[in-house]
Structure 1
């Protein structure tokens, strides 16, 4: 099954990327428009928990990284190639986004230190995100990628380091409540492990009822989302892990269904999945501009619900343009000079 999956991109994985990015856009649109200087109203409370898209993406990341590199362990050259792929996938687009946003942040007279800038460009640990809010998740991704690279280079050392890292992340709320250990052992890191578990079950072909698996995942993830959105469940480590288990079941059920039934999804959803990193990366700075426009349009009697859709759509559109003009050309360039073979992109 791994061989089948590695020969082409799985559409359900792209759908998952699109879902995660759009959920986060909805969350940030809600936060932005609820500010008194804009609409001053929480238009769609359901998106109070839209940041759960990040939790879905962490699980997805663990699954896809193993799907793409399961056969690379034990080779130092493969470790170097893995690091190069991760660098080209994340950093060039991030640097362009930061170069665009930093002047705006400085114009707002934000107090940025040299380390704020340095850590943002290299995704080093930091206590508070100073420039682009969503970049905090990439800092955690980098830790996962570093441990995975070690595992490729030396599986024994890497697997031990990974197991210890996940175990300490599981107990972080009790043992390491403050920065920097709270960052290094964040409870969301457990979700990478759930993604790895999903891949292992997928590779073993142990899922006999993928529809049931997918349904249970949707119920758990969606139920946690609703409970958190309306205050019945706190945003904490427990809700994070509930999201994680739900996402694991959704991803696992989806990919098994796709490989067994040749499932195909609308191209627009696949495209949004391909553009999801750009959407995720640049939508938040764009929302403020669209929110200002929405505030002026409100005087024309346009319902807040429609203004919400307009602002969110604007944020997505900016991300899509960034993907077409910046991220995709950069990926093509680096793949060309690096001679990276076509594989499932993480």
Structure 2
């Protein structure tokens, strides 16, 4: 079965995942900037990352169907991923470094040493000022995970091997780090030894099921989407501490959500254009929201209005606005430039975001 060119439902999931992470950090900023302790942190929002990882595994499999087994498939895949992910991430990291150089009081956790900045540029794990494994741009730890997944996938394509075995087995091996408590050893090399890496493989398996025509019935697909979203964003953290084997607690509901949404493709009601846009802009929103979202509580402090609600609403509004502008003014022009100038064997390289291109694009 041939997968459709564009999974509109997954665009909505990307928008939901990005908004959830923004809202999570909006509640964190209340504590770090307003210094008031009567607004709870919405920890469920961090589960948007799990949804992103499963989506990534799903999309990478579908978008590389014609590359698997080809001689230069690995080159094309690596170039697509590097040109898609790296430029905007480097820009966001550079902005973070410049901001912290001009305003040292804004630096709560980041390490601006040459070593840390260099590791951030090359997507290598580094330890921040609090002893946590986190790059200069705080959300960049997820990009470190993504790039590691892309590396494994590139190697599999290079050897023209079965991507499910060559990617799945290493991820399964690394996921045992949670059970063996390797990840808490305090060294950067243990960063990948945690079960969350298995979520990429969950997404790959969902893609395999869709490619083989094993779609869920409509009623079951809706149940998977609604039930999975409820588990991710309303249930799991209070019941299951996040440090307990993330892939098996958050990853499975995330995989169910993606499987359900993919199964419903072509049977979904009309989806507003603005929601599709937020899905397209989700990468930029994710990268830039931490740089601008703290403006809201900081401004309220100066105005003497320590309102958690206003702070959180302001953070969400500013993050969506800045992220959308970054998408329109930076991300889209960069993607268009690479599409027009980067060639492989005389053929323009088509760029894949976290969803496949529109038909005819």
Fold similarity call, TM over 0.5: yes
Partner of 2:239, secondary structure, is coil
Which one of the candidate residues 271, 277, 291 is aligned to 1:285?
Answer: 291
Alignment of 1:52-131 (within 5 A): 52-109=47-104, 111-127=111-127, 128-131=133-136
Q: Partners of 1:295 and 1:126 in 2: how far apart? A: 32
Deviation at 1:182, TM superposition (A): 2.6
Partner of 2:34, secondary structure, is coil
Residue matched to 1:29: 26
Q: Partners of 1:151 and 1:290 in 2: how far apart? A: 45
- Whether contact under 8 Å (1:258, 1:264) holds in the other structure is no
Residue matched to 1:168: 173
Deviation at 1:33, TM superposition (A): 1.0
Deviation at 1:172, TM superposition (A): 1.0
Q: Partners of 2:304 and 2:231 in 1: how far apart? A: 33
- Whether contact under 8 Å (1:18, 1:269) holds in the other structure is yes
Residue matched to 1:247: 254
Q: Partners of 1:116 and 1:33 in 2: how far apart? A: 27
Q: Partners of 2:20 and 2:54 in 1: how far apart? A: 15
Change (3 A) 1:211 1:39: farther
Alignment of 1:1-346 (within 5 A): 1-3=1-3, 5-6=4-5, 9-35=6-32, 37-38=33-34, 40-41=36-37, 43=39, 45=41, 47-109=42-104, 111-127=111-127, 128-156=133-161, 159-175=164-180, 176-177=182-183, 178=185, 179-229=187-237, 231-259=238-266, 261=267, 263-297=269-303, 299=305, 304-338=308-342, 339-341=348-350, 345-346=354-355
Q: What do residues 241-292 of structure 1 show as CA deviations (whole Å, max 9, x unaligned)?
A: 2221111111111122123x26431111100000000000010121222221
Q: What do residues 86-110 of structure 1 show as CA deviations (whole Å, max 9, x unaligned)?
A: 0111111111112211022233446
What is the Cα-based RMSD across aligned positions, in Å?
Answer: 2.3
Q: What do residues 173-229 of structure 1 show as CA deviations (whole Å, max 9, x unaligned)?
A: 133232344312321111001101111111122234143133134324423533345
Partner of 1:23, secondary structure, is helix
Change (3 A) 1:294 1:228: farther
Q: Partners of 1:157 and 1:43 in 2: how far apart? A: 49
Change (3 A) 1:157 1:181: farther
4+ residue runs over 6 A deviation = none
Q: Partners of 2:265 and 2:137 in 1: how far apart? A: 35
Q: Partners of 2:268 and 2:240 in 1: how far apart? A: 37
Change (3 A) 1:33 1:344: closer
Higher helix share: 1
Q: Partners of 1:82 and 1:336 in 2: how far apart? A: 17
Q: Partners of 1:221 and 1:101 in 2: how far apart? A: 32
Partner of 2:99, secondary structure, is helix
Deviation at 1:73, TM superposition (A): 0.9
More displaced, 315-324 or 305-314? Answer: 305-314
Q: Partners of 1:307 and 1:115 in 2: how far apart? A: 34
Q: Partners of 2:307 and 2:353 in 1: how far apart? A: 42
Structure 1 stretches of 5 or more lacking a match?
none
More displaced, 330-339 or 99-108? Answer: 99-108
How many residues align? The count is 337
Structure 2 stretches of 5 or more lacking a match?
128-132, 343-347, 356-361
TM-score (norm 2): 0.86
Change (3 A) 1:344 1:88: closer
